[in-house]
Structure 1
Amino acid sequence: MYNPTVARLTYRALLGRRRAAVLFVLPGLLLLIAVLIRVFNGVDDQIASDVLGGFAIATMVPLIGVIAGTGAIGPEIDDGSIVYLLAKPVKRPTIITTKLIVAIAVTMAFSAIPTLLAGLILNGNGQQIATAYTVAALVSSIAYSALFLLLGTVSRHAVVIGLVYALVWETLFGSLIAGAKTLSVQQWSLALAEKIGPEGMIASDVGLPVAVSLLVGVTLLATAYAGQKLRTLTLAGDE
């Protein structure tokens, strides 16, 4: 279920000059904020938690997920170059799985690693805060990649829809409206962070068993449906 050639082409597309520059902006900003806070404010566990939760998990991870998830397949569908890939003797589920693995790897690299580094800068991983939010970044990277990869297969406006979800639903509604929190990848990942981090400092409105079930279920369903849409696209092209 993994094709090195598809992976190489996908990495090349995601890490091209323009897209790579965008991917570096948010992690760079997070690290800059962490350094400035440490220099001017010193070590403060609550501030460390607020920065990692409010910026890294709530903003950086979903936005990077949008870039990596939609970028793994969306541009190929938009410009028609996906036809050349589909003409190769590669199974459609293998294409989707490979692109998902690449999207996850890129999202993790540009979100989880900076989250860990920022946490270490802010408070040296005191009370396991850096570890807790890094785990949240890792697991949410998987779900976001699957969701946004699916968006890339079903809509030409995947980036716009992904940004609306990341910035409006996750950041606004997912933080303020009780019902929306249950359908928030951010809240699911925070359930794991809450289990690891200090009591009372990290909170999620979704219980851990439900959060894990939703993370796994959404990832599997999104991947399966993306594979099905790719099969449909192939049939349409053959017609």
Structure 2
Amino acid sequence: MYNPTVARLTYRSLLGRRRAAILFVLPGLLLLISAAVRLFNGADDQVAADVLGGFALATMVPLIGVIAGTGAIGPEIDDGSIIYLLSKPVKRPTIIVTKLFVAVAVTMAFSAVPTLIAGMILNGNGQQVAVAYTVAALIASIAYSALFLLLGTVSRHAVVIGLVYALVWETLFGSLIEGARTLSVQQWALAVAEKVSGGGLVASDVRLPVAVVLLAVVTVAATWFAGQKLRGLKLAGEE
């Protein structure tokens, strides 16, 4: 279910000059903010949790997920070049799983790693804040990548839809409407992080068993639907 050639082409597309520049902006901004906060405020566990929760997990991770998830397949479908890939003797579910693997790897590298570094800068992992939010970023990377990869297969406006979900649904509605938090990847990831940290500074509005089930269901379902959508694309001459 993994094809090295497809992976190499996807990595090359995602890490091209333009996309790579965009991917580096948010992690760089997080590290800059963290350094400034530590310089002017000193080591403070609550402030560290606020920065990592409010910027890293709530903003940086989903936005990078949008770029990686939709970018792994959306542009190829939009410009028609996906046809060349589909004409090769590679099973279509293998293409989706491989692209998901690449999207997850890129999202993790550009979100979880900077989150850990930022946490160490902010408070040296006091009360396990840095590790907890890093775990949350790793878990969220998987679900976001699957969701946004699916969007890339079903809509030409995947990036816009992804941004609306990440910035409006999760960040805005999630902070104002209690019921919306149950349908939030961010809250599901925080439930696992809360377990890692032992509670206190890291907390979620979703119970851990529910969060784990929802994370698994959404990831598997999104991947399956993306595969089904790709199966529906017909090559010239196919009946």
What is the TM-score of this pair, normalised by structure 1?
Answer: 0.98
Q: 1:102 corresponds to which residue?
A: 102
Aligned equivalents of 2:230 and 2:84: distance in 1? 13
Contact 2:92 2:230 in 1 (8 A): yes
Q: 2:39 corresponds to which residue?
A: 39
Q: 2:51 corresponds to which residue?
A: 51
Mean Cα deviation higher: 70-79 or 34-43: 34-43
Q: 2:132 corresponds to which residue?
A: 132
SS of match in other structure, 1:5: helix
Contact 1:14 1:71 in 2 (8 A): yes
| 1:163–1:81 Cα change, 3 Å | same
Contact 1:149 1:226 in 2 (8 A): yes
Q: 1:60 corresponds to which residue?
A: 60
Q: 2:6 corresponds to which residue?
A: 6
Contact 1:83 1:237 in 2 (8 A): no
Q: 1:210 corresponds to which residue?
A: 210
Contact 2:127 2:197 in 1 (8 A): yes
Contact 2:87 2:235 in 1 (8 A): no
Q: Match for 1:15: what amino acid?
A: L
Alignment map for 1:78-227 (pairs within 5 Å):
78-227=78-227
Contact 1:113 1:134 in 2 (8 A): yes
Ranges in structure 2 where 5+ consecutive residues have no aligned partner: none
Contact 2:70 2:148 in 1 (8 A): yes
Corresponding position: 1:230 with 2:208: no
Aligned equivalents of 1:155 and 1:26: distance in 2? 25
What is the TM-score of this pair, normalised by structure 2?
Answer: 0.98
Q: Match for 1:145: what amino acid?
A: S
Corresponding position: 1:72 with 2:72: yes
| 1:188–1:100 Cα change, 3 Å | same
Aligned equivalents of 1:88 and 1:160: distance in 2? 31
Aligned equivalents of 2:180 and 2:209: distance in 1? 18
Q: How big is each residue's C-alpha offset from its partner over 1:86-124, in whole Å with a ceiling of 9 and x where there is no partner?
A: 000000000000000000000000000000000000000
Contact 2:108 2:137 in 1 (8 A): yes
Ranges in structure 1 where 5+ consecutive residues have no aligned partner: none
Q: Match for 1:180: what amino acid?
A: A
Aligned equivalents of 1:51 and 1:155: distance in 2? 33
Deviation of 1:237 after TM superposition, in Å, equals 7.7
Aligned equivalents of 2:152 and 2:92: distance in 1? 15
Aligned equivalents of 1:196 and 1:94: distance in 2? 33
Aligned equivalents of 2:199 and 2:146: distance in 1? 31
Contact 1:153 1:229 in 2 (8 A): yes
Q: Match for 1:83: what amino acid?
A: I
Q: How big is each residue's C-alpha offset from its partner over 1:57-114, in whole Å with a ceiling of 9 and x where there is no partner?
A: 0000000000000000000000000000000000000000000000000000000000
SS of match in other structure, 1:233: coil
Q: Match for 2:21: what amino acid?
A: A
Deviation of 1:136 after TM superposition, in Å, equals 0.1
Deviation of 1:234 after TM superposition, in Å, equals 2.9
- Count of residues in correspondence between the two structures: 239
